Amino acid sequence: MSAADGDKVFAGSVPRLYDTYLVPLIFQPYANDLAKRLAARPVERVLEVAAGTGVVTRALAEKLPERASIVATDLNQAMIDQAMAIGTKRPVEWRQADAMKLFFPDAAFDAVVCQFGVMFFPDRAQAFSEARRVLKPGGTFLFNAWDRIEENEFADVVTQALATVFPQDPPRFMARTPHGYHDTAVIARDLKQGGFAEPAQIETIAARSRAALASDPAVAYCQGTVFRSEIEARDKAGLAGATEVAAQAIARRFGPGPVDGKIQAHIITVKKS
C-alpha cells in the first residue's frame, strides 16, 4: 500500500480516538462555521461527503431547518459507524460512498458540503466534478482545507517531534496530506478543471485549538490519525513512546496545560452556474 493509499484508511481504534480528541481540538470550530454558512442559504437537500465521525453532520442537524434533509457519506465505514453511534439531533441518512464516484443522480442536491476531506481525494478535479454533477443549477459547494502546517501549531510541533524519534524516516502524514493542499491558486485551478465556471470565494480563517493537557494533542495526532500506522510501521511497540515525546514537545512550547495553539484553514464557496 502506498503512503497516499494508507492516508485514507481510518480503522481500528482510530475513529474513536479521532472523535474523542481531534474533534474538539481542531474540527469543532470549523464545523460550526460551515453549518452557520449553509444555514444562511435556502437549502432543502444537502449532501455531505467525507463526513468522518459526523462533527459537521451534527452541526448541520442542529442549525438547518427541519425541512432540509441531510445525507452524510464517508469512504470509511468505520467512521460512519462511529458517527452513527454518537447520533444526531434529528434523523440523517448515512451512506458509505466514495466522493470520487458518487452514486447519486444528477442535480439531486441544493448543497454539497465537505469538512477537511478534499485533501484526501486522489484526483481532486474529479471529486469536484462529481460534487458539481450532483448539485442542482445554482447549488453551492462548500468545503474547507487546512492551511500550511506552519500555521497550525500543534500539528507542526508533533510532526517535528516525531522526526526526532525516527530521524532516518520521519513520519510526514500531517504535512503530506491534511496540510498538503493549502495553495489557494491550486484549489481554484482544480475547481475550474472540475467544471465550476464561477470563481470561488476563498477565505482564510484562524482559530484557537485548546486542550486541558499537553498530552491531549499528542494523543490526538499520534493515535487518532494515520500518524499511528506510520509510527507502528517504523516501531511496532513504539506508539506510547512516540506519543510521550510529542507530549513533551508540546509542553515545552505551550506549557503542561491548559494548552492553546493556533489553527488556520481556508473556507471555499463556489456555485454551480
> How would you class 108 by CB atoms within 10 Å of its CB: exposed for 0-12, middle for 13-18, buried for 19 or more?
middle
User: Which string of DSSP letters, residue by residue, matches 140-207?
Assistant: EEEEEEE--GGGSHHHHHHHHHHHHHSTTS---HHHHTTTS---HHHHHHHHHHTT--SPPEEEEEEE
Burial class of 167 by CB neighbour count within 10 A (0 to 12, 13 to 18, 19+): exposed
| Cell triple for 102 | 458518487
Query: What mean pLDDT comes out for the span 30-52?
Result: 97
Q: Domain residues of the chain, as ranges?
A: 3-271
Decide the pairing of beta strands 69-74 and 93-96. parallel
Comparing 29 with 19, the larger pLDDT belongs to: 29
pLDDT over 70 (residue 3) = no
What is the average pLDDT across 156-172? 97
| Measured distance CA(96)–CA(51) in Å, rounded | 10
**Structure confidence at residue 169 (pLDDT):** 96
% the chain with pLDDT above 70: 95
Neighbours of 190 (CB within 10 A): 22
Compute the distance between CA of residue 245 and CA of residue 46 in angstroms, rounded to an integer: 42
Per-residue model confidence (pLDDT) at position 170: 97
Q: Which residue has the higher pLDDT, 9 or 189?
A: 189
| Per-residue confidence (pLDDT) for residue 43, from 0 to 100 | 97
Whether 32 has a pLDDT exceeding 60, the answer reads: yes
Output the 3-class SS for 59-110: HHHHHCCCCCEEEEEECCHHHHHHHHHHCCCCCCEEEECCCCCCCCCCCCEE
Task: Dump pLDDT digits (tens) for 206-234.
Answer: 999 999 999 999 999 999 998 999 999 99
As assigned by CATH, the class of the 3-271 domain is alpha beta
Widest pairwise Cα distance in the chain: 55
Q: Mind listing the pLDDT tens digit for each residue in 227-261?
A: 999 999 999 999 999 999 999 999 999 999 899 99
Share of the chain above pLDDT 90, in %: 90
- What pLDDT does 13 receive? 56
Q: Tell me the average pLDDT of the chain.
A: 94
